[in-house]
């Protein structure tokens, strides 16, 4: 095989694996990253791809091809002396038996190494994310002690791995020397017996390297496979995690669709053993501006994740215009939604590119959405204005500025039918919040508007409030209706909000 072929294989396979992993990351369900540390997942993926790709390296492929020299060597040696050849062939199953035992031990040890590497990645991820808490609570020495234990375990485990490799190499060399001695001794008897000459024995010993050398390469291949097999298994397990894949019969949702209503019909959502939502039912009609409220843990986030199809109901159904939302492709269904949440992400790019995220806004549309969100007033004061870079997740902006830029992006999304604001102005100053609320609540640009808020002044002017309590709908109605009803939880919650404001 030519070097150019090796090079193509060695570069193509890692590229394909990285592309496959990246596509799966973008389609994987959101809850996967709520259950696992993101930095650990990414480190594991890159480590596994690197280990799998090692099999496509020139050294490994060359070693693997070299094994075929065994056949050529055995054929040549048979012509010299078949008796000595049979003795030589007997080394192969012995060598394979020893290598198989060591392979299982190395595989088990490497799985431990993979686990330790995951702990190390978790330590790095949590140390970076929690750096403020670590410094404020004086946890630096504790974190370093934890790291020292991880690194010590890693060193000890790698030492075991090296020991098995050393044993394999030592046994291989000893086995080769032993069989060479046997060949000399048995060859001497054949010379005495007149079955072969000294020259034939010397030739046989010389040609025997065609068999001995490839057999010794088995150790190298076994070592590579012992690290690749666990990595390959973990990589396949990752690719098998639940991802957002459109049903074969899913259809595109028409962007000109008029959303007449959204219905929750006996919807239940279970996380492991706990019910986040329990038999939830309600209807939201076109033209309504609806609030979704409740204390922490009431099920608001779960309800929103179901609406956006980030989660799937454990039971019941969600319908849009009497059709299940699962009948549509993920992308076309989400295209009718505009979402602004407290945790909306800003990319490490300019303000303009964070707002004009699809690169299809005109200058007027960019300015209009920025003005509506309140972002334009501070953007115009910046030296580079819209070309200002925001840093990692908007780290160069204040909390309110970051939220205004994200809100401008939400308001700029075209052809959407439903607006979902999840505490969208929680970091706004009072005047900015009042200005935005007055403009957006008078807007007729959306068929339906959903708002997560506990501000009484906003609740009082909405068409409907859906009050959640312990995963159930505890009340549905206008502000006045719920205040006059027997829904004490709603009244108590508003008292706490007003009391704390």
At residue 62, the pLDDT reads: 64
β partners of residue 284: 262
Is the per-residue pLDDT at 60 higher than 70?
no
**255 against 7, higher pLDDT:** 255
**260 against 424, higher pLDDT:** 260
- Collapsing DSSP to helix, strand or coil, 249 comes out as coil
Which range among 190-194, 308-312, 432-436 has the greatest average pLDDT? Answer: 308-312
Residue 315 DSSP code: E
pLDDT over 90 for what percent of the chain? Answer: 7
**465 against 213, higher pLDDT:** 465
Q: What is the mean pLDDT of residues 57-73?
A: 64
Please answer whether residues 335 and 253 qualify as being in contact, where contact means their C-beta atoms are separated by less than 8 angstroms: yes
Please answer whether residues 110 and 227 qualify as being in contact, where contact means their C-beta atoms are separated by less than 8 angstroms: yes
Out of 1.20.1070.10, 1.20.1560.10, 3.40.50.2000, 1.20.120.1200, which CATH number does the structure's domain 3-239 have? 1.20.1560.10
What residue spans of 240-319 are helical by DSSP H? 300-307
User: CB-based burial of residue 417 (10 Å sphere; 0-12 exposed, 13-18 middle, 19+ buried)?
Assistant: buried
Give residues with Cβ within 8 angstroms of 302, minimum separation 6.
269, 276, 277, 311, 471
What residue spans of 240-320 are helical by DSSP H? 300-307
Q: List C-alpha distances in Å: 388 to 39, 101, 367, 375, 382.
A: 28, 61, 15, 13, 7
Element (H, E) at 430: helix 430-441
Domain with CATH 3.40.50.300 in the chain: 246-336+415-501
At residue 212, the pLDDT reads: 67
At residue 303, the pLDDT reads: 92
At residue 496, the pLDDT reads: 64
- DSSP assignment string, 92-133: HHHHHHHHHHHHHHHHHHHHHHHHHHHHHHHHHHHHHHTHHH
At residue 501, the pLDDT reads: 46
pLDDT over 70 for what percent of the chain? Answer: 88
Is the per-residue pLDDT at 318 higher than 90?
yes
Please name which of 478, 361, 356, 340 lies closest in space to residue 419, comparing C-alpha atoms: 340
How far apart CA 174 and CA 170 sit, in angstroms, is: 6
Domain with CATH 1.20.1560.10 in the chain: 3-239
Q: What is the mean pLDDT of residues 348-364?
A: 88
Q: By 3-state DSSP, what share of the chain in percent is helix, strand and coil, each rounded to 5?
A: 60, 15, 25
At residue 29, the pLDDT reads: 79
Out of 2.120.10.70, 1.10.510.10, 3.60.20.10, 3.40.50.300, which CATH number does the structure's domain 246-336+415-501 have? 3.40.50.300
At residue 262, the pLDDT reads: 92
Is the per-residue pLDDT at 253 higher than 50?
yes
Q: What is the mean pLDDT of residues 468-472?
A: 88
pLDDT 10s digits, 87-113: 777 777 777 777 778 778 888 888 888
β partners of residue 289: 449
pLDDT band at 246 (very low <50, low <70, confident <90, very high): confident
pLDDT 10s digits, 394-446: 888 888 888 889 888 888 888 888 999 888 777 677 777 777 777 777 778 88
**495 against 380, higher pLDDT:** 380
At residue 57, the pLDDT reads: 61
Please answer whether residues 340 and 406 qualify as being in contact, where contact means their C-beta atoms are separated by less than 8 angstroms: yes
The pTM of this model reads 0.72
Give residues with Cβ within 8 angstroms of 81, minimum separation 6.
187, 190, 195, 196, 200, 204
Average pLDDT, the chain: 81
How far apart CA 277 and CA 264 sit, in angstroms, is: 11
How far apart CA 24 and CA 42 sit, in angstroms, is: 12
Is the per-residue pLDDT at 500 higher than 50?
no
Residue 243 DSSP code: B
Going by DSSP bridges, is the β-strand pair 315-320/261-271 parallel, antiparallel, or unpaired? antiparallel
């Amino acid at each position: 095989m030519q070097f150019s072929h090796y090079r193509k294989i060695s570069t193509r396979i890692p590229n394909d694996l990285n592309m496959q992993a990246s596509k799966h990351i973008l389609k994987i369900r959101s809850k996967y990253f709520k259950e696992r540390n993101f930095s650990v997942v990414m480190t594991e993926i890159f480590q596994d791809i690197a280990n799998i790709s090692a099999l496509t390296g020139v050294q490994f492929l060359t070693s693997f091809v070299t094994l075929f020299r065994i056949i050529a060597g055995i054929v040549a040696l048979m012509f010299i002396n078949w008796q000595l050849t049979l003795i030589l062939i007997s080394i192969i199953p012995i060598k394979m038996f020893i290598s198989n035992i060591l392979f299982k031990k190395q595989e088990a040890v490497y799985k431990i190494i993979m686990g330790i590497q995951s702990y190390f990645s978790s330590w790095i991820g949590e140390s970076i994310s929690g750096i403020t808490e670590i410094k404020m609570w004086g946890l630096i020495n504790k974190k370093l002690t934890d790291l020292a234990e991880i690194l010590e375990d890693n060193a000890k485990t790698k030492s075991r791995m090296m020991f098995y490799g050393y044993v394999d190499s030592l046994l291989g060399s000893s086995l080769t020397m032993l069989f060479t001695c046997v060949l000399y001794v048995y060859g001497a008897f054949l010379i005495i017996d007149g079955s072969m000459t000294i020259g034939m024995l010397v030739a046989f010993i010389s040609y025997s390297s065609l068999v001995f050398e490839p057999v010794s390469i088995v150790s190298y291949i076994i070592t590579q496979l012992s690290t690749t097999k666990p990595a390959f298994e973990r990589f396949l397990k990752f690719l098998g995690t639940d991802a957002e894949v459109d049903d074969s019969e899913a259809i595109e949702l028409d962007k000109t669709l008029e959303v007449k209503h959204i219905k929750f019909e006996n919807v239940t959502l279970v996380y492991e053993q706990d019910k986040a939502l329990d038999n939830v039912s309600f209807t939201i009609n076109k033209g309504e501006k609806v609030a979704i409220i409740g204390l922490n843990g009431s099920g608001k986030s779960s309800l929103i994740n179901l609406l956006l199809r980030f989660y799937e109901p454990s039971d019941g159904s969600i319908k849009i215009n009497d059709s299940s939302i699962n009948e549509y492709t993920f992308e076309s269904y989400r295209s009718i939604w505009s979402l602004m949440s407290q945790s909306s992400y800003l990319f490490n790019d300019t303000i303009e590119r964070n707002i004009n995220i699809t690169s299809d806004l005109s200058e007027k549309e960019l300015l209009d959405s920025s003005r509506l969100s309140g972002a334009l007033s501070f953007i115009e004061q910046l030296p580079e204005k819209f070309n200002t870079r925001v840093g990692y997740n908007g780290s160069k902006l204040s909390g309110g500025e970051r939220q205004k830029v994200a809100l401008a992006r939400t308001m700029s999304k075209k052809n959407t039918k439903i607006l979902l604001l999840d505490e969208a102005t929680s970091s706004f100053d009072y005047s900015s919040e009042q200005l935005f609320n007055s403009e957006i609540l008078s807007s007729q640009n959306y068929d339906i508007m959903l708002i997560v808020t506990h501000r009484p002044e906003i609740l009082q002017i909405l068409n409907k409030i859906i009050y959640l309590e312990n995963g159930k709908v505890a009340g549905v109605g206008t502000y006045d209706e719920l205040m006059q009803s027997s829904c004490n939880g709603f009244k108590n919650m508003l008292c706490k909000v007003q009391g704390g404001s």
